[in-house]
Amino acid sequence: MVETRVIDGILGAYQNDAVNLLQILLKVQSVEPKNYVSEEVAMYVANHLDIPISRVYEVVTYFAALSHKPQGKHVIQICNTTVCQLNGFNEVLKWFKDALKINPGETTADGLFSMKLTPCIGACDISPAIKIGTNVYGNLTKEKVEEILSELRGAIS
Ligand code: FES
């Protein structure tokens, strides 16, 4: 688990207010080495916000951007809702599967990438679309997928 003073800093930045639970969890997850909300962290946050741990888990399980399992440094969320389904979701999924040798719900052996399916990410106008972190990528082609992956690999120090 990340140091508690780091979590305290995040909680403080959001006024220790449970209204900001989603933002708090996203931020906490981003500083966790394995990019997830562990049981220990969920308990710590729940205690400090004085809310039931079940509420933390409701948020973690509802939002595709959060995870209660360890994830790769980069989480590739592939939209599988109708418009993307019609515009090439199957090809996009295949390109990522071929490039990373993993299936949705899995993480690459080097811990760099996880892949998951997600409902509409609000980018239907540029579908097929994916989201990685806060970045949305659309009008995907095989070349574009390769470019995105090599940029992300290059960004890792
Ligand atoms: S259906 Fe895929 S972004 Fe909306």
Ligand 1 atom nearest residue 89's Cα = 2
What residues line ligand 1, using a CB cutoff of 6 Å? Answer: 79, 81-84, 120-121, 123-124, 127, 129
Neighbour count for residue 68 (Cβ, 10 Å): 16
* Atom number in ligand 1 closest to CA 126: 3
> Tell me: the pLDDT tens digits for 52-110?
999 999 999 998 889 999 999 999 999 999 999 999 999 999 999 999 999 999 999 99
In CATH, what class is 74-154? alpha beta
Whole-model pTM: value is: 0.81
Token pair for 80? 């599988």
Helices of type H across 32-141: 39-49, 53-62, 82-86, 89-100
Q: What percent of the chain has pLDDT over 70?
A: 98
Which ranges in the chain are annotated with CATH 3.40.30.10? 74-154
Distance in angstroms (rounded) separating the CA atoms of residues 136 and 53: 31
Q: What pLDDT shows up at residue 64?
A: 82
**pLDDT for the residue numbered 38:** 95
Instruction: Return left, alpha or beta for 122; rule: phi > 0 is left, psi -120 to 50 is alpha, else beta.
Output: left
Assess whether the previous peptide bond of 52 is cis (omega < 30° from 0): no
Residue 129 is given by DSSP the state -
